[in-house]
């Protein structure tokens, strides 16, 4: 294969990292006043959150110092096989272990029905329901399947996370255009139980660092979360071009996005999906590997056109199937055609589409360093957020695998 010269592009993202995250968590929690006296459940479930173990431990310490008995409850809908053991293992893989956070983990798929809406019954994790109160902890961010004032955040953590597979199925039967409203409707009976004490919302900057922490009383969550979603839009990283012939994504997986690669970045949402932001229009998407932290769940692989054999071999069919069955989006779980390795994949796409308008990214969460062909690089020299290397480097492979430098 003849060399493919690429230019390294550094993209200036909107960054605002908190210097002392633990101190900010404590400062925010102090605004809530005294916590419930008894057992308090802290929700943990979303992957890829910066400082998750630190924030969870700090919240637990703060509660304990004020007379409460905190514990962690896995809150992730149907993820990781929809089993208590699988969800506990997922929480621990995020660094939230009993030893690290100083509190027990209580994982169960048992739920209590707390209400009924037009879409169906609303459920709540049994351990959370039996506690003195729930501290909902989650990152507020754009969702990958629907738009609206409520997307991923505290409300979805309460509804889908604590509702386990039962509420997840009810919610995902809602058409995309009604999902944001459905979250609000399903949250109301949960909040009406009086079991939700407060929420701790995290907002991350364009470099995936904790930028803001907001503690919200239970009666503020529905009203305030849309404001925090606007803060997310302010920081949200994007590809700095409008169109591409080929986008090569080195790694996909649930640790980067609920759909493996963020549709708000790559511009593909799948059938029925609704965009919150205008992503780049991409003709062909290639994915090279499934992140180990995704533990075999390859939801979103169907957004790619071609993958490597090692990505395909890493797919846990049972976990992926359960995820797409719950969400109702089978297309996102369909495995694309595969090629033996990275080098063969790139060579095949070059034969088919030529060498114009290519971009390589590590994943859709970290977009500080990009590699592009000369035509795109020339365009980005005029971009206010981009710095382009003066000289190209040939696309490097080792034993058939791509070896690009992603260090900013």
pLDDT surpasses 90 at 32: yes
What pLDDT is attached to residue 378?
Answer: 97
What pLDDT is attached to residue 260?
Answer: 84
Nearest C-alpha neighbor of 141 from the set 13, 35, 262, 312: 262
Delimit the domains of the chain by residue range.
5-13+238-402, 31-235
Residues 100 and 57: beta-carbon distance below 8 Å: yes
Mean pLDDT, residues 372-395 taken together: 96
CATH superfamily of this structure's domain 31-235:
LarA, N-terminal domain (3.40.50.11440)
Q: Using 50, 70 and 90 to split pLDDT, how confident is the model at 374?
A: very high
pLDDT surpasses 70 at 345: yes
Q: What is the mean pLDDT of the chain?
A: 91
**149-165 pLDDT, tens digit each:** 998 899 999 999 999 88
For the ranges 222-231, 292-301, 349-358, the lowest mean pLDDT is seen at 292-301
Higher pLDDT, 165 or 216: 216
Q: Using 50, 70 and 90 to split pLDDT, how confident is the model at 320?
A: confident
pLDDT surpasses 70 at 228: yes
User: pLDDT above 90 covers what percent of the chain?
Assistant: 70
pLDDT surpasses 70 at 168: yes
What pLDDT is attached to residue 220?
Answer: 97
Q: Using 50, 70 and 90 to split pLDDT, how confident is the model at 278?
A: low
pLDDT surpasses 60 at 274: no
Mean pLDDT, residues 112-120 taken together: 94
What pLDDT is attached to residue 2?
Answer: 86
Q: Using 50, 70 and 90 to split pLDDT, how confident is the model at 80?
A: low
| Contacts of 326 by beta carbon, 8 Å cutoff, 6+ apart | 77, 78, 82, 165, 168, 169, 172
Mean pLDDT, residues 56-64 taken together: 98
For the ranges 77-81, 117-121, 170-174, 339-343, the lowest mean pLDDT is seen at 77-81
What pLDDT is attached to residue 277?
Answer: 60
């Amino acid at each position: 294969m003849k060399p493919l010269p690429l230019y390294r592009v550094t993209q200036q993202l909107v960054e605002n990292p908190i210097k002392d995250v633990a101190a900010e968590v404590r400062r925010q929690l102090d605004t809530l006043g005294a916590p419930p006296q008894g057992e308090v459940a802290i929700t943990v479930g979303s992957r890829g959150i910066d400082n998750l173990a630190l924030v969870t431990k700090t919240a637990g310490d703060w509660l304990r110092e004020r007379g409460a008995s905190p514990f962690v409850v896995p809150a992730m809908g149907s993820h990781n096989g929809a089993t208590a053991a699988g969800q506990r293992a997922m929480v621990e893989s995020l660094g939230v272990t009993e030893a690290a956070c100083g509190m027990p983990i209580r994982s169960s798929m048992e739920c209590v029905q707390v209400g009924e809406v037009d879409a169906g019954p609303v459920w709540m994790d049994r351990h959370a329901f039996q506690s003195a109160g729930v501290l909902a902890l989650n990152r507020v961010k754009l969702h990958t399947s629907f738009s609206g004032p409520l997307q991923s955040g505290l409300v979805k953590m309460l509804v889908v996370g604590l509702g386990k597979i039962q509420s997840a199925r009810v919610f995902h039967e809602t058409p995309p255009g009604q999902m944001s409203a459905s979250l609000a409707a399903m949250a109301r009976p949960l909040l009406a139980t009086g079991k939700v004490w407060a929420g701790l919302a995290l907002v991350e900057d364009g470099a995936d660092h904790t930028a803001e922490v907001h503690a919200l009383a239970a009666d503020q969550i529905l009203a305030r979360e849309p404001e925090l979603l606007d803060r997310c839009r302010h920081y949200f990283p994007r590809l700095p071009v409008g169109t591409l012939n080929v986008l090569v994504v080195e790694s996909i997986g649930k640790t980067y996005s609920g759909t493996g690669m963020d549709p708000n970045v790559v511009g593909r949402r799948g059938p029925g999906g609704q965009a919150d932001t205008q992503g780049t229009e991409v003709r062909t998407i290639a994915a090279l590997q499934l992140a180990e932290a995704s533990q075999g769940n390859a939801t979103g692989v169907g957004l790619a056109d071609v993958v490597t054999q090692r990505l395909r071999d890493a797919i846990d069919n049972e976990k992926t199937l359960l995820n797409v069955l719950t969400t109702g989006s089978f297309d996102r779980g369909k495995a694309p055609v595969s090629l033996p390795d990275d080098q063969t994949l790139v060579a095949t796409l070059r034969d088919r589409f030529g060498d114009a308008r290519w971009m390589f990214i590590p994943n859709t969460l970290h977009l500080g360093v990009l590699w592009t062909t000369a035509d795109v690089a020339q365009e980005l020299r005029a971009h206010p957020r981009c710095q382009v290397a003066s000289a190209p480097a040939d696309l490097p492979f080792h034993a058939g695998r791509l070896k690009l430098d992603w260090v900013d």
